[in-house]
């Protein structure tokens, strides 16, 4: 969340920048500033009365020693009054601080100045494109028909076992999944990322730390009995490794990678491009997570974007990079670049990665800090990216590489699959 200090010192800037995310912040930021002023006033009064009570408490013993019983009794009565006043003010302060936190967590992160204006995906800006879109014959099959033809993925069996959005991968389809996971993990490790194998369920504190709660609880699967949440991305458990941690400057940047299954309810998305692998409730993804000093985080973001580009290049997929507009960004992001690959049989672009800088927004929730040469703890910046999400990569690989002889496997991936054709 945004820091209280930044909001109160930059009220008009905060309101202006929030407007780019189409968040009307005038009223809520006004409430924050007003509550903070009240908090400061109560805190000042509490500090003054606490100091007075401490001084009186020290004086009482001396007064008794000096035989000044009446003055000592009067001071003792005054400390009792102050104790009650302090208790009441402490209760009031706790209530104000809780109210402030409840408001602060509803305010999205500020977009970076380079974020384009816009409300919907069509307003995103194409930054860069690469690869070659294949020319397929008119009778080219979409991936869901290819999956059936070559017995790679059984969507109906997944419906039987669980429900829509939970496909069953079979034979070479399952081997392709495993190959991509290992391919992405090996590439991340070669790029200097430490591999992590995290839990697939997290507690409320972890969901809060990375911003999924309280904003996205309707999108997450919730195990009510244990009050645990199935992760929507490995970003959540991996970033929470550093919750309530103070790093040393020499430990930065932190670079971690993790494979996980991801679980998303995708509430409200029914009927929107849901055919085949386009939109699932369970899918596989390799994530990269970085923690860095604020002055280095945008260089880290560029490095992460460049790294993801190497992956789609190695897979020989046509791709483009989008700079997301204010209206299409996530609640927690300051700047996001999306990668899309072209699915030739569907004749459409499919999102396969988001690479984001959250600046100090997550770190403030997580209390993830570092100490520099001055030994003062300050907030880190956190970043993450999909590197990569599998379903739409698989969709594009199947569609783009179909031939009369079968489906060709990209050269860089063949050592992982163990076969060059399906």
Q: Is 233 labeled as ligand-binding?
A: yes
Q: Is 109 labeled as ligand-binding?
A: no
Contact assessment for residue 255 and residue 193, using Cβ atoms and an 8 Å cutoff: yes
Close Cβ partners of 128 (under 8 Å, ≥ 6 residues apart): 309, 320, 321
Tally helices (H) and strands (E) across the chain. Answer: 13, 18
Q: Is 12 labeled as ligand-binding?
A: no
Q: Is 113 labeled as ligand-binding?
A: no
Neighbours of 89 (CB within 10 A): 17
Q: Is 295 labeled as ligand-binding?
A: no
DSSP-H helix ranges across 123-171: 143-149, 155-161
Class of residue 203 by CB neighbours under 10 A (exposed 0-12, middle 13-18, buried 19+): middle
Class of residue 223 by CB neighbours under 10 A (exposed 0-12, middle 13-18, buried 19+): exposed
Q: Is 352 labeled as ligand-binding?
A: yes
β 254-263/194-196 pair status: parallel
Contact assessment for residue 377 and residue 246, using Cβ atoms and an 8 Å cutoff: yes
Q: Is 210 labeled as ligand-binding?
A: no
- Closest to 93 (Cα-Cα) out of 144, 161, 164, 40: 40
Q: Is 265 labeled as ligand-binding?
A: yes
Q: Where are the beta strands (DSSP E) in 264-343?
A: 282-292, 319-323, 335-343
Q: Is 354 labeled as ligand-binding?
A: yes
Q: Is 201 labeled as ligand-binding?
A: no
Contact assessment for residue 231 and residue 212, using Cβ atoms and an 8 Å cutoff: no
Residues paired with 403 in a beta bridge: 406
- Closest to 354 (Cα-Cα) out of 383, 318, 376, 380: 383
Contact assessment for residue 365 and residue 394, using Cβ atoms and an 8 Å cutoff: no
Which residue ranges make up the annotated binding site for ATP? 264-266, 351-354
Residues at the annotated binding site for L-serine? 233, 264, 287, 384
Binding residues: 233, 264-266, 287, 351-354, 384
């Amino acid at each position: 969340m945004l820091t209280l200090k930044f909001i109160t010192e930059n009220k008009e800037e905060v309101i202006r920048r929030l407007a780019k995310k189409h968040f009307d912040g005038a009223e809520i930021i006004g409430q924050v500033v007003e509550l903070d002023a009240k908090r400061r006033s109560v805190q000042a009064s509490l500090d003054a009365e606490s100091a007075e009570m401490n001084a009186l408490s020290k004086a009482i013993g001396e007064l008794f020693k000096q035989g000044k019983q009446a003055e000592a009794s009067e001071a003792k009565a005054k400390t009792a009054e102050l104790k009650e006043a302090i208790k009441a003010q402490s209760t009031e302060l706790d209530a104000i601080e809780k109210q402030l936190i409840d408001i602060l967590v509803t305010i999205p992160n500020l977009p970076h100045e380079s974020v384009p204006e816009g409300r919907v995906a069509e307003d995103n800006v194409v930054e860069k494109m690469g690869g070659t879109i294949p020319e397929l014959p008119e009778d080219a099959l979409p991936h869901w028909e290819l999956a059936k033809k070559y017995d790679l993925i059984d969507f109906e069996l997944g419906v039987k076992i669980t429900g829509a959005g939970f496909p069953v991968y079979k034979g070479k389809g399952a081997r392709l999944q495993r190959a991509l996971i290992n391919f992405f993990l090996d590439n991340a490790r070669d790029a200097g990322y430490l591999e992590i194998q995290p839990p697939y369920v997290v507690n409320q504190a972890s969901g809060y730390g990375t911003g999924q709660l309280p904003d996205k609880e309707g999108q997450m699967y919730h195990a009510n009995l244990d009050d645990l949440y199935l992760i929507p991305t490995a970003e959540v458990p991996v970033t929470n490794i550093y919750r309530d941690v103070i790093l040393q400057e020499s430990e930065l940047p932190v670079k971690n990678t993790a494979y996980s299954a991801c679980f998303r309810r995708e509430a409200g998305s029914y009927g929107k491009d849901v055919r085949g692998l386009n939109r699932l409730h369970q899918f596989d993804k390799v994530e990269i997570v970085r923690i860095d000093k604020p002055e280095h985080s945008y260089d880290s973001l560029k490095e992460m974007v460049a790294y993801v580009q190497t992956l789609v290049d190695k897979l020989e997929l046509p791709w483009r990079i989008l700079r997301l507009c204010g209206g299409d960004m996530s609640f927690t992001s300051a700047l996001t670049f999306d990668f899309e690959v072209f699915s030739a049989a569907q004749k459409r672009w499919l999102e396969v990665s988001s690479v984001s800088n959250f600046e100090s927004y997550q770190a403030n929730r997580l209390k993830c800090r570092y100490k520099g040469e001055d030994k003062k703890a300050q907030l880190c910046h956190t970043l993450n990216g999909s590197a990569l999400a599998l379903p739409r990569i698989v969709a594009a690989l199947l569609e783009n590489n179909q031939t009369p002889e079968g489906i060709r496997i990209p050269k860089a991936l063949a050592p992982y699959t163990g076969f060059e054709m399906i």
